[in-house]
Amino acid sequence: MNILGIESSCDETAAAVYTGNGLRSNVIASQAVHEQYGGVVPELASRAHHKTIWATVQQSLEEAGISLDRIDAVAVTQGPGLMGSLLVGLCFAKGLCLSRGFSLIGVNHMDAHIYANFIDDEPEYPFVSLTVSGGHTQLVHVLGPFDHILLGETRDDAAGEAFDKIGKILGLPYPAGPEIDKHAKGGDPQFHDFPQAMLDNRFEFSFSGLKTSVMYYLEDREDRESFLAEHLSDVCASVSRAITEVLVKKLENAIEHTGVHTVVLAGGVSANSMLRARARQMAGEKNCQLHIPRLAYCTDNAAMIAVTGYMMGQRGMYSDMNLKPYANLAESR
């Protein structure tokens, strides 16, 4: 099969081609318009998707060296995500399928983050996935292809959301997660002991209190500007440690609970250097195989949609033209 993957769940317009020989292309058109607002503006995001989606698909086909006539199915993000953005990708995919006779495959965005690990590798089932992104933080027990048990998730802010909100408090540009990671590399993780929430719960997460703690920590300082000028890297490293230690502790709990010997990281926050390092350390201590996607496949991209669509197509998991988008993960269950 030759699969065209389309991703438009948030502010990245992306297209990719995946075939029996593996990934052939992966094109991402980012939207710089949101930087001035410090976050994604849904209406602007959907407009930008509408303007760029056809050019992005064309580029992905050209880079793959495959004509549109050779595509067998279109895999498209069904949700979760911003409803307007999802509609652009889904309507475009349906139009292609109707006009060309392609099969349609609706893909769960969070599943796709997990199966991004299969682009370059093949984790052994069963495994536990720590899926951490801007909108979701989950622990998932993956028994087999598309056979999942949700062990736990965040009760409020996701890890990526916490990074972005704390970055805004620190005066960092959006998206702040990569900025915090960059500054943290030169800082002292032990500089300040920020709270690590819900360690008494095995699989659930909470990061809203950390954001509040950082805000109060800086509000109490009359020398805030000069303090951050001198210690920004230390604060970023301390924030990263607070989030990372919770994530790794919960992942360790999931390994012990399920008895698996394979773990994977997934989602945009899996690009965080401290998390990757601590996960490797923990996996070594637990004698587990650890799989982490390449950085290009951690954040939102169409390669993960295409490979997931390929795996679904192999199992006959096709969709019909009544396929509808869903904004919230709960709607997919």
Annotated binding residues for Fe cation, as ranges? 109, 113, 300
Residue 131 backbone phi and psi in degrees, to 5:
-105, 115
Helices (H), the chain: 42-64, 83-100, 109-115, 159-169, 176-184, 208-219, 224-258, 273-286, 303-314
The binding site for substrate comprises 131-135, 164, 177, 181, 272
**CB neighbours of residue 323 within 10 Å:** 16
**Kindly report the CA angle at 194 between 191 and 196, in degrees rounded to 5?**
135
- Measuring CA to CA, which residue among 151, 116, 141 is closest to residue 18? 116
The binding site comprises 109, 113, 131-135, 164, 177, 181, 272, 300
| Residue 331 half-sphere exposure toward CB, CA atoms < 13 A | 12
- Measuring CA to CA, which residue among 333, 110, 149 is closest to residue 257? 149
Q: How far is CA 44 from the centre of its chain?
A: 21
